[in-house]
């Protein structure tokens, strides 16, 4: 789209669309600044990230492995006392449940307040792509480390991330690779690596699965350090034939062979596109994205740059048509209403009610997304939660609207639409907002502003991005 050397102003709606999809939304001032800066500088700014660890220090409850390791050691030492062991397991569950709530709150705050929203958005993408759940891993510490792994590689090289996955302790537990050995290699893990993580369904043979399983076998998690390491006597150092290539492949070698398959680049590029665009790319678009991804040797930032500069990304079929995930809905609402997020029990309960528990995707395929987010009950929950989370208590919303804007129904509605909706709302939705506003007193006081925002957030358009 256009010429990178000409950072001219671009349509405000396109700027709002990019900031909503590449992050979680923006305030009117942020959208205006992006529109003034131009498309190319905005994309480069999104891709330019720095350290923000000092802003989001982890809690000891999930980042300190010592209490968890000690609890495991205690449980193991009570094998001859079933009742005492049961009580020890109960204490561990209580500790882990508390740590899980802390971890979810920590990441939710980071999703809302990070100065690098695209990195957090991609961390969320990798969490769904390499889906791992606390229900199977049963270790909040390992899930936190995996989350940091996703963040470290969020905008980096996909190949490096893919090579790290077979020895990631959370993934090893989730897909039972921690017990794989040369005598009994875990073929299920090898299948998921090919079908869900790297190639897509149907682009491998049963022989490829068997041979890859042998390559992935032999890694174990040290109970004390909670780190993964190869155990030589459990590994298969024999010759393997994988996709026609022959060698004494280990886990990293096997991943490299799979990465070299022609289906890998279009598979990943297509999933990334769909995550941000909300629909499958046209064959022509997918071909361009996959070629650039392959040519860059799986540089994720280059892929994202191509996505955000692709003309189809700003087409009517893409803009304003994607149903927000619960996380996008919650974080986006907070951003647009300029409210903080603390990861409170109410906020975490809202995500639970809407169907997206962080660190607990439904299965190895992650969240289905799309229309699955929007049942009748989920829509009603969003309407109710919008008020209870953001429009009650001492939250003064009139501060978001200058006094001159609140003098007429038409002006305050226009400002409300600019704040809450990246795209221009339909004429019927606009008419509903104006009629609603006219039923209240003007100049608009705090109550009128609050009720108008509440009504606007119940419109179907607010569920889209």
- Give how far Cα 31 sits from Cα of 19, 118, 341, Å: 7, 15, 21
Whole-number pLDDT of residue 5: 47
**Is residue 70, in this structure, part of any structural domain at all?**
no
Rounded to whole angstroms, the Cα distance separating 230 from 264 reads 27
Length, in residues, of the chain: 465
**Amino acid 1: pLDDT:** 61
DSSP-assigned states of every residue in 71-118:
HHHHHHHTTT-HHHHHHHHHHHHHHHHHHHHHHHHHHHHHHHH-S-HH
pLDDT for the residue 60: 97
Contact 214, 224 (CB under 8 A): no
Alpha-carbon distance of 306 to 265, in angstroms, equals 13
Indicate whether 146 belongs to any domain: no
Q: Three-class SS of residue 221?
A: strand
Number of domains present in the structure of the chain? 3
Per-residue pLDDT of the chain (465 residues; tens, 9 = 90+): 645 444 567 999 999 999 999 999 999 999 999 999 999 999 999 999 999 999 999 999 999 999 998 998 999 999 999 999 999 999 999 999 999 999 999 999 999 999 999 999 999 999 999 999 999 999 999 999 999 999 999 999 999 999 999 999 999 999 999 999 999 999 999 999 999 999 999 999 999 999 999 999 999 999 889 999 999 999 999 999 999 999 999 999 999 999 999 999 999 999 999 999 999 999 999 999 999 999 999 999 999 999 999 999 999 999 999 999 999 999 999 999 999 999 999 999 999 999 999 999 999 999 999 999 999 999 999 999 999 999 987 789 999 999 999 999 999 999 999 999 999 999 999 999 999 999 999 999 999 999 999 999 999 999 999
Give the Cα separation of 211 and 437 in Å (integer).
Answer: 66
Would you say residue 128 lies in a domain? no
Q: What is the pLDDT of residue 113?
A: 98
Under 8 Å CB-to-CB from 1, ≥6 apart: which residues? 39, 309, 310, 311, 314
- Residues 6+ away with beta carbon under 8 Å from 76: none
244 belongs to a structural domain: no
Q: Which residues contact 246 (CB under 8 A, 6 or more apart)?
A: 239, 240
CA dihedral sign, ordered 457, 459, 463, 465: negative
Contact yes or no for 385/353 (Cβ under 8 A) = yes
Structural contact between residues 335 and 346, judged by C-beta atoms closer than 8 angstroms: no
Give domain status of residue 72, yes or no.
no
By residue range, what is the domain housing residue 432?
398-463
Residue 239 forms part of a structural domain: no
Whole-number Cα distances in Å, 158 to 84, 189, 293, 417, 432: 46, 19, 10, 38, 46
Element (H, E) at 300: helix 300-308
Q: Is residue 409 part of a domain?
A: yes
Q: What is the largest CA-CA distance in the chain?
A: 80
| CA angle (308 as vertex; 303, 310 as ends), nearest 5 | 90
Asked if residue 436 belongs to a domain, the reply is yes
Q: Which residues pair with 53 in a beta bridge?
A: none
Task: Please tell me the distance from the alpha carbon of residue 186 to that of residue 214, in angstroms, as a whole number.
Answer: 8
């Amino acid at each position: 789209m256009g010429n990178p050397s000409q950072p001219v102003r671009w349509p405000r709606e396109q700027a709002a669309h990019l900031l909503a999809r590449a992050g979680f939304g923006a305030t009117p001032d942020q959208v205006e600044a992006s529109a003034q800066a131009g498309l190319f500088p905005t994309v480069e700014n999104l891709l330019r990230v720095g350290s923000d660890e000092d802003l989001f220090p982890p809690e000891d409850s999930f980042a300190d492995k010592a209490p968890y390791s000690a609890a495991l050691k205690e449980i193991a030492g009570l094998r001859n006392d079933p009742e005492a062991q049961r009580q020890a397991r109960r204490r561990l569950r209580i500790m882990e449940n508390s740590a899980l709530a802390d971890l979810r709150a920590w990441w939710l705050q980071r999703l809302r307040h990070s100065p690098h929203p695209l990195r957090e958005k991609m961390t969320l993408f990798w969490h769904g792509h390499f889906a791992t759940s606390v229900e199977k891993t049963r270790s909040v510490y390992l899930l936190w480390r995996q989350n940091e792994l996703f963040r470290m590689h969020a905008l980096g090289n996909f190949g490096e991330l893919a090579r790290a996955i077979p020895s990631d302790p959370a993934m090893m537990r989730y897909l039972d690779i921690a017990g794989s050995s040369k005598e009994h290699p875990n073929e299920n893990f090898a299948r998921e690596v090919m079908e869900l993580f790297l190639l897509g369904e149907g682009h491998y043979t049963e022989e490829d699965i068997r041979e890859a399983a042998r390559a992935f076998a032999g890694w174990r998690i040290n109970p004390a350090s909670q780190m993964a390491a190869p155990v030589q006597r459990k590994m298969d150092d024999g010759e393997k034939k994988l996709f026609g290539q022959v060698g004494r492949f280990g886990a990293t070698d096997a991943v490299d062979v799979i990465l070299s398959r022609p289906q890998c680049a279009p598979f990943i590029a297509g999933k990334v596109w769909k995550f941000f665009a909300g629909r499958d790319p046209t064959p022509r678009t997918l071909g361009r994205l996959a070629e650039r991804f392959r040519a860059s040797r799986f540089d994720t930032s280059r892929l994202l740059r191509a996505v955000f500069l692709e003309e189809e990304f700003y087409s009517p079929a893409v803009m304003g048509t994607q149903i927000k995930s619960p996380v996008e809905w919650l974080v986006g609402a907070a951003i647009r209403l300029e409210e903080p997020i603390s990861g409170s029990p109410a906020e975490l309960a809202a995500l639970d009610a809407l169907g997206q528990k962080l660190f607990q995707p439904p299965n190895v395929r992650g969240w289905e997304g799309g229309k699955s987010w929007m049942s009748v009950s989920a829509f009603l929950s969003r309407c109710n939660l919008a008020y209870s989370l953001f429009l009650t208590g001492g939250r003064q919303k009139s501060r978001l609207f200058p006094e001159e804007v609140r003098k007429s129904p038409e002006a305050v509605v226009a400002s409300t639409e600019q704040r809450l909706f990246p795209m221009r709302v339909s004429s019927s939705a606009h008419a509903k907002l104006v009629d609603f506003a006219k039923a209240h007193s003007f100049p608009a006081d705090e109550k009128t502003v609050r009720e108008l925002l509440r009504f606007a957030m119940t419109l179907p358009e607010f569920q889209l991005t």
